[in-house]
Structure formats: structure tokens, C-alpha cells
A and B are shown apart, each in its own frame.
Chain A
């Protein structure tokens, strides 16, 4: 029975390793999450989200505090971004949300700039101040045609 029980052990280790690999791929790499209740969900509406995609990071002063959950169009046909943030985050009601790019051509993320009010945002509320993505094409166009920077003349 010695060899049989040691074989059982090896099979057990094998199954555990395989399940651990699946769990790592699902939860860590695949971003599968069970139970969203523990997170603070906030919304922000933008005119242009550029290349922002679900699961993009949300940062404050460059520190990751959450991620973009989903992006939909709202009734006014503007982009409504739902974000899941750490629960213990206390953001004042005049916090601004901006879409920024990491480096010149890097990935886009949402940067939050905390305000000064004493009241804090509760789950399900929206940011009042937002800043759309910087569109590199528009920026280049403005420079080339001189329209955006040199005024109306």
C-alpha cells in the first residue's frame, strides 16, 4: 500500500498544480473576479475617451487605485466610464477625472486629481469634472494648420 498512497499523493499534487495554474490564468491574468460588492464604483462621462479600454488602470498621482470596469454610451451619446476603485478611497466631490497617456504612445489610463471639498463621493456617484483624451491627430493637425494655436486670423 506504500506505493499506492504515495501515488495518490503525487496525483493530488498534480491536480493541485493544474488547478493553481488555471486559477492564476483566470484571476490574475484573465481578471476574473468573484464578488464585486467590496469595491467602490464611480462613473465619469467624457466627450472622447480616445483609446481607453476596459481594465485600463485608474491612478492617483501615478499610483494605481483601481481599474475601468466598463464603457458605455449614455443618453446624451457621451462615453460613460464605470470605474472600480479601492473601497477605502475618500475622494472629495470636486475630484477631476482625466484620460491620460503613459508616455507619448503608451496605454491610456484614467488619472484622478483630488479636489479640496470636505464632502466625499459615495458609490454610484459621478465625477463632475472630466477631461477627455488628448487626441494626437487633432494636436498635430492644429500645429500643421496653425489654427488651434495661432488663433482665428
Chain B
């Protein structure tokens, strides 16, 4: 009995401890971001790696999600004679939920895993120790630009995803199924409010980006310095970040309504 209790206690303690470590790591990143030099060149490269290279994937996914949404919702709505509301349904679901969440998951797989693998490989080949020996803080030099870039590109990619999605649903609804273009656009514009939907979407994407940046860099920075460790850390980034994005999405949605 005491053995069972002891293992429960040990697990709880290690959970709290790892949470504390990751929060402290986040604090170090924030401190590094505020301290000079600004490392703008590295930030730019990280934006290129995480953002620019994800654009094609995000836009193509947005377009296909929009196409499918248009088809599915049109068929369902037409049973009630409410095809006109396609713009409303597509706009609200894309802007509030699908855009930020799916972009978050896509970028986790595309750029978050790469970030972890890159930092993990640097650690495995003792490059981070090399930086420390030259009195260069690896958090400032390697981690901060990548974490910051993930947080910055997420709202931009999410907005691109949503615009592509709206266009995809337009293609299906208006061009293919014969809905009136004006009615699609005007229902979309009447239903979507800036504060209620668009701001919520941007804030969500920003929070997802920060979570992903923190998790991806933390996993890479703390991985075991060997090939198996890097591989485990990369997998763990994708799993942890995806679950965190989905959970925080629920919390953010619930908080926004209050």
C-alpha cells in the first residue's frame, strides 16, 4: 500500500518538476529576447525555415479544407433550404477553430519537429557546449530566435490558411454548385465580427505558436545527446505540442465566450 502511494507521489512530484522546468525555460527565452543583441539575422533565418517553407503546405491544406467544407456544408444546408448560409458556416468554422488549430498541428509536424531535431542534433554533436565555451549563451544564440519565429509565423500562417479555405469553399459553393457569389460573400461578411471571431483567431494562433516554440525548443535542448534521444525528443514534440494545442484551444474558446 505504501509502495503504491510512494510511486504516486514520486510521479506527481516529477510531473510538477518537469512543468516547472519548462516554465523556467520559457522565462529564460523571454529574458534572452529582451537582452541585446537582438539577433535579427537569426530570427530572419528561423522565420524562413519555419514560416516561408511551411507556406505551401499550409495554403494547400487550407484550400482542400475549404473545398471539403464547402461540399459537406452545402449538402447538409441544402436539406433545410439554407444553402445561402454557406458563407456564414464556412467563415465562422474556419476563422474561429479550423484555421488556428489545423495550422497549429500542421506547423507542429512541419516546423516544430524540425526545430527539435536541429537543436537536438546540435546538442548531440556538442555544438551547444562549444558555444558555451566561447561564452555565447546557446539559449540566446540558438533557442530564442527559433522559439520567437514559431510564435511569430503562426498567426500569419493561420490567416493564410483561412483565406485559402474561404477561397476553396467559394470555388465549390459558387463556381461548382451554383450559389450566388454576392450572397456567399455578404453572408460571410455579415456573420464575422472582428472582436468575436477574427481577434479570437489571431490570439489563438499566437498562443499556439508560443506553446509550440516553447515545447519544440525545450525538447531539443533537453534531449539525450545521442541519435535515439534526438528521435525520441522529436516524437515527443509532435505529441506534446499537438495535445497542448487541442487542450488550450478548448480553454481559449471557453474563456473568450465569458
- Residues of A that sit less than 8 Å from B by CB: 7-8, 10-11, 14-15, 17-19, 21-22, 24-26, 28-32, 53, 55-57, 106-107
Contact = CB atoms under 8 A, between A and B. Distances in A.
A17 B163 CA distance: 11
B55 A14 contact: yes
A49 to B, nearest CB: 15
B44 A11 contact: yes
A114 to B, nearest CB: 24
Interface stretch (B114-122, B149-157, B168-176): B149-157
18 contacts: A7-B44, A10-B52, A11-B47, A14-B47, A15-B47, A15-B156, A17-B55, A21-B163, A25-B159, A25-B198, A26-B198, A29-B91, A30-B192, A30-B199, A31-B189, A32-B198, A57-B186, A107-B190
Nearest to A55: B190
B111 to A, nearest CB: 13
A19 B160 CA distance: 9
A30 B162 contact: no
Contacts of A19: 156
Size band of the B side of the interface? 20 to 34
Contacts of A21: 156, 159-160, 162-163
Nearest to B152: A15
B51 A11 contact: yes
A22 B190 contact: no
Given A18-B156, A57-B186, A106-B84, 20 more contacts: A8-B44, A10-B52, A11-B52, A14-B52, A15-B47, A15-B51, A17-B55, A19-B156, A22-B202, A24-B163, A25-B95, A25-B201, A26-B198, A29-B188, A29-B189, A29-B192, A30-B192, A30-B198, A55-B189, A107-B190
A14 B52 CA distance: 6
B57 to A, nearest CB: 13
Contacts of A57: 186
B194 A31 contact: yes
A18 B197 contact: no
A19 B51 CA distance: 13
A22 to B, nearest CB: 4
Nearest to B197: A30
Contacts of A55: 189-190, 193
B45 interface: yes
Contacts of A31: 189, 192-194
A30 B159 contact: no
Nearest to B84: A106
Contacts of B95: 25, 29
A22 B189 CA distance: 14
B48 interface: yes
A15 to B, nearest CB: 7
Interface string B75-118: 00000000010000001000100000000000000000000000
Nearest to A32: B194
Contacts of B194: 26, 30-32
A118 to B, nearest CB: 35
Contacts of B190: 53, 55-56, 107
A26 B160 CA distance: 13
A93 B84 CA distance: 36
A106 B88 CA distance: 13
A16 to B, nearest CB: 10
A7 B45 contact: yes
A53 B51 CA distance: 39
A18 B162 contact: no
A8 B134 CA distance: 28
B52 A22 contact: no
A11 B186 CA distance: 33
Nearest to B164: A21
